Amino acid sequence: MTILITGANGQFGSELNNILQRGSSELGKLPPVYAGCEVLAVDVDELDITSVDAVDSFFSRHKPDLVFNCAAMTNVDGCESDEETAYRINALGPRNLAIASQRHGSRLLHVSTDYVFRGDGERPYTEHDTPSPNTAYGRTKLAGEKAVLDSCGNSCICRTAWLYGYVGNNFVKTMLRLARENGRLKVVGDQVGNPTSAVDLAYQLALLGASTETGIFHCTCGGEPVSWHAFAERIVERAGLSVPVESCTTDEFPRPARRPAYSALENRHLHDTIGNSMRDWREALDSFMEHYLEQEKTI
């Protein structure tokens, strides 16, 4: 089997590539279908998904059986100031991949986001809830979802949230750096969601990719939805840092793009189909912190 990973240099694409190359994750072995697979891990310098000609040419040459689209413009504020570029990457790019996948008989898994919802609910969103984004990032990602579902019959939309991993910048690494530099933290306590480890997401998507399921799936770590403030407290605690973490409101940190107050997701379709392998967010974070802090010692 030939597998294409786009956005392979990002924190999720890199983790997915790692487990496909190894054939296993810390959560378990991958399905036998991945044994001996060829992984084409590319980023924008090797495949610009916004170019329909480039995508069609790549598919014609390599004929991937399974495609994981991890490429996206994820800078929420950057999307707000340049929605045209965000639309090209987050909507037209997935459309190009979906059309090529349909034409060449490939299976496509496309990574999306909790930002497709307004974020003003009081319970976790399920796959049956109607999206209503209020940011450029959310609008362009929703457009990408629709393009994939409309253009490729053998496809899955995999919505995730609050992602962190070993590669690149993320909330966990930022909190560690600021805690060490400043000796204190001030973090918003009125935004609630699902912290999600790239390790868990990569394993879950590998399982989903090996299945015959199609449609929309929520893929976030489990446990009670939590605020950024409580998330930061857990990070500091697990790092062994005696640093006060003060809670504040969103209004105290105004940003160009509005952040959702409550964007927690429920993995209902995973439960009802292939099973939900995503760990409780605290267990996943504790494991990540243990490995990441060990890595720091070797740098």
DSSP label at residue 280: B
Quick one: how many helices (H) and strands (E) in the chain?
A: 11, 14
| The pair of three-digit structure tokens given for residue 39, joined into one six-digit string | 């992984």
Q: Which of 143, 41, 54, 138 is nearest to 95 (CA)?
A: 143
| The pair of three-digit structure tokens given for residue 11, joined into one six-digit string | 């924190």
Residue reference for tokens 């590669």: 167
The reply to whether 137 belongs to the active site is yes
DSSP label at residue 260: P
| The pair of three-digit structure tokens given for residue 205, joined into one six-digit string | 């998507």
Rounded CA separation 39/165 (Å)? 20
What Rg value do the Cα atoms of the chain yield, rounded? 19
Rounded CA separation 250/36 (Å)? 48
Residue 285 vs residues 163, 171, 184, 226: alpha-carbon distances, Å = 11, 12, 20, 13
Which residues lie across from 196 on neighbouring strands?
Answer: 163
Query: How many CB atoms are located within 10 Å of the residue 173 CB?
Result: 16
Which of 34, 87, 115, 137 is catalytic? The answer is 137
Rounded CA separation 81/124 (Å)? 29
Helix H, strand E, coil C: the string for 6-62 is ECCCCHHHHHHHHHHHHCEECCEECCHHHCCCEEEECCCCCCCCCCHHHHHHHHHHH
Q: In what order do the strands lie in the sheet containing 66-69?
A: 38-41, 2-6, 66-69, 107-113, 155-160, 215-218
- Which positions are catalytic? 137
